[in-house]
Amino acid sequence: MGVAPSAQGWRRWFRLVAVLVADLVLVNVSLLVTLLLNYGSLSDPAAQHVLRGYALPITGLAALLVTWRGLYRVSARYYGMYDFLSIAFICAILAVLFGGLEVALPRFADIPRALDEPVLFGLLAIAFLGGARIVRRAVSWRVIPLARGREDKMRKRAIVVGAGDAGEALVREMSRSRFSNYFVVGFADDDPEKANMSIHGIRVLGRTEDIPKLVDEFVVAEVIIAIPNADGPEMRRIVDLCNRSKARVRTMPVVASVLRGDAQVFQHLRNVEIDDLLRRPAVKTDLTGVANYVNGERVLITGAGGSIGSELARQISNFSPSSLILLGKGENSIFEIEQELLRTRGLQPKCVIADVRDSNSMERAFEEHRPTVVFHAAAHKHVPLMESNIIEAIENNVRGTWRTAELAVRYGVQKFVYVSTDKAVKPSSIMGATKRVGEMLVAAIGHQSEMETAIVRFGNVLGSRGSLVPMLKAQIKSGGPVRLTHEDMTRYFMTIPEAVQLILQAGSIGQRGDVFILDMGEPMRIVDLAYDLIRLHGLVPNEDIPVVFTGVRPGEKLVEELVYEQEELIETVHPKIRTVRNANPNPNAIKQQVRSLLEGCEGGKNDQARQLLMELAWGKSLEPFEVASTAVVEWSESQDIAEKR
């Protein structure tokens, strides 16, 4: 028994037949108009001859061609240039048929041949068929010109910066949607060739330097930056111009979102973030080499729930590891990145809840998953907090690093990448000193084993969990005051993607404990960063939001450094990444000194732990200790337990 077509199916077929009939009628209208223009009347014998001999074959061929070219599979909302070219192609074939009939069919002696008729017929058919589709597309979108006719008083008056493809796409989507709450009064663009041009009825009013004047003249509420690939300096220049007015600043999503053809790009407009204003062009790293050492490998990330660890997981998932092991102490953060990878990439990572200090948990993780590549990002990182939790910082950042690296050697890991910080250079803080000792350990193990090791040293990461920018945003949101330590304090800054790309790139270059540093440009004053954030919230520093200075906190430095004087910076294959090669370390001595440090922490005396840590981080010998002269001193949990006894 057959199944009766649904009502929806019948409606669809009815629409298709209706469109086909309409197109065939338009083809015949084109033929009639051609004859009227040539002969002045349809009753003329020549016109009657053409109608009787030509109409039926032209109509039949038109039906076949429009069906063959698939014009009825295209939604009226999305007619475009490709469909117009298809119509032109069809009409050209019909014109050729018209001309062929003129030559082939017998004619009356008193009826002259008119070979210009096929050309006229083809042009009219293109005009009628194409024009009908333009009307249908306009009706389908219910287009309302954004700068003409009655202005909806509920819509925000806006200027779009950038009259290129992105700006055109943005305005087009706004004009199509009844949900758009913008009334675009014009464009601003620095290209002199676009001056006074019009896009979708909207004129280019001036250059970007005219934005403050245009905002006042046209009573603009928002300035929308439609330059998705603008670098930090360009974004900063435009935002600074906008800040001279009272208009709010917003920006488009990244260019990939535009290229995907999102139906309503304007709904993805977002506020300009501090990342957009980085005072240097963003560093982009060619990660093709990463695939060579990640593809098909078992990759372990410690601290995988943190800002850096979770971004590592996202980017590594693009290189098809055979398994991705996410290890962290916080179950909620590990759960969140696991669900994100499942949802966005279809990847099921292996999740391990463990503390890098716990020998039994770490041993089980390595035994079960047998990683071949390890990214060690687990660490305590808050400078002031670690000043009052010295032993905890040493246990996590030093003992945890040692344990993870030694297990990596024992279980045959091929590559070990250690995430460090610029605070490890001439450290004045407990956190920086622990990371420096971690660098020393990883370098020592790299020179003592077959495992390839790399150390990545970078500055402050914009927007990472618990970092400066989220803290400043919270203070601004609460109405202030914004609390800063010192007006002359500077820091190197980078974005989370930049930091992770550096880590991944270092893994493809490093071999034996080399230190890698990203070219982060000039350091940035913290007070400038704070003022930028306040302005991005539409507020004025020290007027709407007070800024107060509280004094440098314990462990902080006014200026961070990236290298020691004795370290030599060497260019790498990447123009923005440099490496530091130190003199070969003495692995035995370093391990014995770290052992002395950890033993000194067992009594729970913070002052003693601080002194031992700082002496070791600054390259001073710890007493008492003896350096093994013949045998390699390897750390192991059994040795640790035996010594405690």
- Average pLDDT estimate for 429-449: 91
On whether the CB atoms of residues 489 and 522 are closer than 8 A, the answer is no
pLDDT band at residue 522 using 50, 70 and 90 as cut-offs: confident
- Average pLDDT estimate for 99-122: 69
Position 116 pLDDT exceeds 70: yes
How do residues 290-336 score in pLDDT, each as one tens digit? 778 898 999 999 999 988 999 999 999 988 899 999 999 989 999 99
Q: Burial level of 509, CB count in 10 A (0-12/13-18/19+)?
A: middle
Long-range contact pairs involving 82-90 (C-beta distance under 8 Å, separation at least 24): 83/133, 84/130, 84/133, 87/126, 87/129, 87/130, 87/133, 88/126, 88/130, 90/62, 90/65, 90/66, 90/129
Q: What's the pTM value of the predicted model, to 2 decimals?
A: 0.63
Q: Which residues have C-beta within 8 Å of that of residue 295, sequence separation ≥ 6?
A: 319, 320, 321
CA distance 151 to 25: 39
Percent of the chain's residues with pLDDT above 70: 79
On whether the CB atoms of residues 293 and 301 are closer than 8 A, the answer is no
Q: Burial level of 483, CB count in 10 A (0-12/13-18/19+)?
A: middle
Please give the structure tokens belonging to residue 578. 């440099």
CA–CA distance from 622 to each of 117, 402, 432, 582, 610 (Å)? 102, 18, 18, 21, 12
On whether the CB atoms of residues 302 and 405 are closer than 8 A, the answer is no
Domain spanning 288-617, CATH class: alpha beta
156-272: which CATH topology?
Rossmann fold (3.40.50)
How do residues 170-216 score in pLDDT, each as one tens digit? 787 776 665 567 788 889 888 888 888 887 778 889 898 898 899 88
Long-range contact pairs involving 194-201 (C-beta distance under 8 Å, separation at least 24): 194/163, 197/163, 199/163, 199/167, 199/168, 199/171, 200/145, 200/146, 200/168, 200/171, 200/172, 200/175, 201/145, 201/146, 201/147, 201/148
Residues in the chain: 645
List the beta strands (DSSP E) in 135-181: 156-161
Q: Which residue, 448, 444, 459, 466, is CA-closest to 489?
A: 459
How do residues 223-248 score in pLDDT, each as one tens digit? 888 887 776 677 778 888 887 887 87
The rounded mean pLDDT for the chain is: 79
Q: Which of 136-140, 170-174, 407-411 has the lowest mean pLDDT?
A: 136-140
CA distance 443 to 453: 7
What are the structural domain ranges in the chain? 9-141, 156-272, 288-617
pLDDT band at residue 634 using 50, 70 and 90 as cut-offs: very low
Please give the structure tokens belonging to residue 135. 């009307």
Q: Which residue, 625, 617, 556, 639, is CA-closest to 589?
A: 625
How do residues 535-553 score in pLDDT, each as one tens digit? 777 677 888 889 999 888 8
Number of CB atoms found within 10 A of residue 581's CB: 14
Pairing of strands 512-518, 452-457: parallel
Q: Which residue, 276, 223, 218, is CA-closest to 250?
A: 223
